[in-house]
Amino acid sequence: MGKTKKVGISGRFGARYGSKLRKQWRDITSKQKGITKCPKCNTKLPNMREFVGVWHCKKCGATWTGGSWESATARGKESHRIAIRMAREASEAEQNPASTIKK
């Protein structure tokens, strides 16, 4: 049997199901089973998907929500970044109450 350098894991389907569907399936599967970073311990491991949208780290045991096929979606990353910024601004406002007064 030949090597599947281009088709990757979707080579098991052969000529069935059409090339577009095989490419989509290959991309989704590689994201789902690939190495991701745990948000708690920051280790790069193949995190385990428990069920749709719920992910689990094998090392530290952390459980978090994410996308159906990815452990973190673009919208989730954006929300996390906004939450961190708002928390930082709130802590700065507590330390310097005079600097937050707008003229």
Kind plus residue range of the DSSP H or E element containing 13: none
Residue list, annotated binding site for Zn(2+): 38, 41, 57, 60
pLDDT tens-place string over residues 61-103: 899 888 888 888 889 889 989 999 999 999 988 888 766 556 5
Q: What is the pLDDT of residue 11?
A: 84
Report the half-sphere exposure of 91 (CA within 13 A, side-chain side).
5
Q: Which residue has the higher pLDDT, 2 or 40?
A: 40
Residues in the chain: 103
Q: For 47, which DSSP code?
A: P
Query: Which domains, and CATH codes, for the chain?
Result: 35-95 (2.20.25.30)
pTM tops 0.75, yes or no: no
Instruction: State the binding site.
Output: 38, 41, 57, 60
pLDDT tens digit sequence for 12-50: 888 899 989 999 999 888 888 888 888 888 888 877 888
